Amino acid sequence: MADLKVNEIRIPDLIVDGRRLETATTFDVVNPATGRVFAQAPLASRDDLDTAVAAARRAFPEWARTPIDERAAAVLEIAQAIEAEREPLARLLSAEQGKPIHGGAAGEIMGALVWARATAKLRPVVETVRDDDTALVQVHRKPLGVVGSITPWNHPVMIAVWHIMPALIAGNTIVVKPSSYTPLSTLRLVEIANAHLPPGVLNSVAGEGGLGRAIAEHPGIDKIVFTGSTPTGRSIMASGSANLKRLTLELGGNDAAIVLPDADIDAIAPKIFAKSFGNSGQTCAALKRLYVHESLHDQLAGRLSALAREARLGPGDDPASQFGPVQNRAQFDFVCELADDARANGGRFLVGGQPLAGDGYFFPLSIVVDVSDGTRVVDEEQFGPILPIIRYSDPEDALARANANENGLGGSIWSSDIDAATAMAQRLECGTAWVNDHATISPDAPFGGAKQSGIGAEFGLHGLDEYMQLQTLRIGRG
């Protein structure tokens, strides 16, 4: 792939009712590798949002009546069009998000294609509850109406696909608002998709401040799907209560992993490293708290530290870069704050622990030991490249500490005894439990959080159900 130059960037438009929407003003988009503004994105007003919702409502009846095989064919056409533009889309994604073009951004685009194509195969189930001489009773699934999608800055193309494609298959129309930190690649995705959809089926707005709250409150929106922080999810839930919006909330995670004393360090160290630091730790389901038995603690901490020292950080357009910056200044400052607090409370960084000098929001991959529960870097989701390693002696105590956190997105057990690890994994209080793995997801298996990590599920038929309303049909006989 060629490097992205600032003067090569075409700013994507907002698309409403199948047409470009003119906006009166714009807002800044910052390249996190430099910390400087590199583009201006169109800023939608509340009136623009009303226009987008009205377009989606007009388009809904016809799209809902469109046979599902035709809707699926449109999704497959969208996937084909994304694939045709995967290289410029990856460069645009890298410029605004920071992840390396080669691997990170390109991998996200290819993952989005896998999800879109898998989602196109889904078909809602019609359940027959009763079929006898007196009645036929069936449970059908029908589209909800207008879906409001609010996407985050860590995976702006992939997560938009997670929201949009099942909504389309289910027969809903959509208004999507990307994060104001990373609006461009999502807006471009909507542009690409609109060439294969009727006007008004998929609309985009973008902005700062209260636009997300306005979507949550809007009486013309029937469902919100949101990926992001738990506090914002609570706010959306409160704002959406006025018209009892359906909600799918995939919220914060502070995933714990427990390494049992019989684990094979040689086998697990590279996997734990990859699952902790992918996307520079900016993944909801990343491994964020590592509980290691005292007999293995020092060895595993040393192996992970060596891998972190070898990692190449740099701007996304440098082919040598393996890891990019923290995406935005606020998150960068938060990661620095957690590192400072860990040191102040006796934490010892085996590698990293201080921001890098120079431009951009670069924080090195960091391993901190001599910390435990009660320290902020353990108790709070870092969402950045710091991994705390917590020593333990009793596996039951480690399990209790893993479960004590208010979050419950995912968790994992690492062991050479698969049966024992599986039994312990099933006692983790989280939406997904892994054995000798972490953060691996697939489009056919539901993914969602327990406790404060969210409501509902994504992916597969369980995820498709989130975009549909049950309707019981009773046909009397005799």
Catalytically active residues are 250, 284
**Following DSSP, what letter does each residue of 57-106 receive, concatenated?**
HHHHHHHHHS-HHHHHHHHHHHHHHHHHTHHHHHHHHHHHH---IIIIIH
**What are the structure tokens assigned to 112, written together?**
């989005």
Helical packing angle, 86-97 and 106-119, nearest 10°: 120
The partner residues of 262 in beta bridges, in order of sequence, read: none
**Following DSSP, what letter does each residue of 218-249 receive, concatenated?**
-TT--EEEEES-HHHHHHHHHHGGGGT-EEEE
Distance CA 303, CA 294 (A): 15
Q: Read off the DSSP letter of residue 313.
A: B
Distance CA 29, CA 39 (A): 5
User: How many residues comprise the chain?
Assistant: 478
Give kind and range of the element (H or E) at residue 274: helix 265-277
Asked whether 199 and 18 are in contact (CB, 8 A), the reply is yes
Give me the helices (H) in 286-425, please: 297-310, 329-344, 376-379, 395-403, 418-425
Strand order of the sheet with strand 454-455?
202-204, 173-177, 146-150, 223-227, 246-250, 454-455
Distance CA 408, CA 230 (A): 11
Query: Closest Cα partner for 4 from 206, 185, 193?
Result: 185
Distance CA 392, CA 293 (A): 5
Distance CA 208, CA 190 (A): 19
Distance CA 155, CA 161 (A): 10
Asked whether 347 and 369 are in contact (CB, 8 A), the reply is yes
Distance CA 433, CA 412 (A): 5
Position of tokens 């390396």? 100
